[in-house]
Amino acid sequence: DAGVTQSPTHLIKTRGQHVTLRCSPISGHKSVSWYQQVLGQGPQFIFQYYEKEERGRGNFPDRFSARQFPNYSSELNVNALLLGDSALYLCASSLLPGQLNQPQHFGDGTRLSIL
Amino acid sequence: AQSVTQLDSQVPVFEEAPVELRCNYSSSVSVYLFWYVQYPNQGLQLLLKYLSGSTLVESINGFEAEFNKSQTSFHLRKPSVHISDTAEYFCAVSRRDDYKLSFGAGTTVTVRA
């Protein structure tokens, strides 16, 4: 079975541009979470979506937004890119939110570089 | 809010030697605890977790971690490492009534022959 897939794998943008990152969860998983991992740091929680609704948001500015589609795939959008947005963006899926007996499965991430 | 401190940023170790990665957390409520491993250019893989019950948890590849509530620690150990254990290891915590994970900064383990 396919794991969590993210696209693109790498992306280069310039300051001020916007970007859309995509995530397809494991088949049957209805919850998707997004994390930002800056080089040398641990991942930071951005959003969680379940059944197309936002269930939680981390401490990120409004330039960050996301949505979940009826097929449970998700997009993360970032507007007005800053140099500090350079990071690995990780998507994780799970059967249900908050069900920690079912672990979150992470994708390999999208490496975003801002010039 | 929860926070996680991984006390060692880098741990070099020889093959077949033991290794311990230290993790301390702070939280005002009960939490679940996790260790994740990240190999180069890959996402995170769950190594082991503590939800409840026995404070000693084990993974299928020889790692173990012990939850110590009084010391708010969840240290990871392996008695004999392999070259393939070279990776970055993250300790994470989640409130029991929440779903988001709070991660430490990570510990890079480099195993040398």
User: What residue spans of B1-113 are helical by DSSP H?
Assistant: none
- Please report which confidence band the pLDDT of residue B28 belongs to, taking 50, 70 and 90 as the band edges: confident
* Nearest-CA distance A113 → chain B (Å): 15
Distance CA A46, CA A85 (A): 12
Please compute the mean of the pLDDT values over residues B4-9 and round it to a whole number: 95
Tell me how far apart the 2 most distant CA atoms of chain A are, in Å: 41
pLDDT digits (tens, 9 = 90+) for B45-80: 999 999 888 899 999 889 999 999 999 999 999 999
Q: What is the pLDDT of residue A60?
A: 97
* Nearest-CA distance A9 → chain B (Å): 10
H helices, E strands: number in chain B: 0, 12
Inform me whether the pLDDT recorded for A2 exceeds 90.
Answer: no
CB atoms within 10 A of CB A25: 27
One CATH from 1.10.1370.30, 3.30.70.100, 2.60.40.10, 1.20.1090.10 for A5-114: 2.60.40.10
Distance CA A56, CA B98 (A): 9
Distance CA B52, CA B46 (A): 17
Q: List domains and CATH numbers for chain B.
A: 3-112 (2.60.40.10)
pLDDT digits (tens, 9 = 90+) for B88-107: 999 999 887 777 899 999 99
A34 in Cβ contact with A15 (< 8 Å): no
- Token pair 């009534």 is found at B97
Distance CA B88, CA B38 (A): 5
Q: Cβ–Cβ of A104/B46 closer than 8 Å?
A: yes
Domains of chain A, residue spans: 5-114
* Nearest-CA distance A98 → chain B (Å): 4
Give the amino acid at A46. I
B66 in Cβ contact with B55 (< 8 Å): yes
B91 in Cβ contact with B101 (< 8 Å): no
Token pair recorded at residue A9: 């794998």
Q: Cβ–Cβ of A100/B105 closer than 8 Å?
A: no
Inform me whether the pLDDT recorded for A99 exceeds 70.
Answer: no
A70 in Cβ contact with A24 (< 8 Å): no
Strands B56-58, A105-106: pairing kind: unpaired
Q: Which one of A6-10, A54-58, A93-97 scores highest in mean pLDDT? A: A6-10
DSSP letter at B72 equals: T
Chain A 64-103, residues with CB within 8 Å of chain B CB atoms: 90, 92, 97-98, 100-101, 103
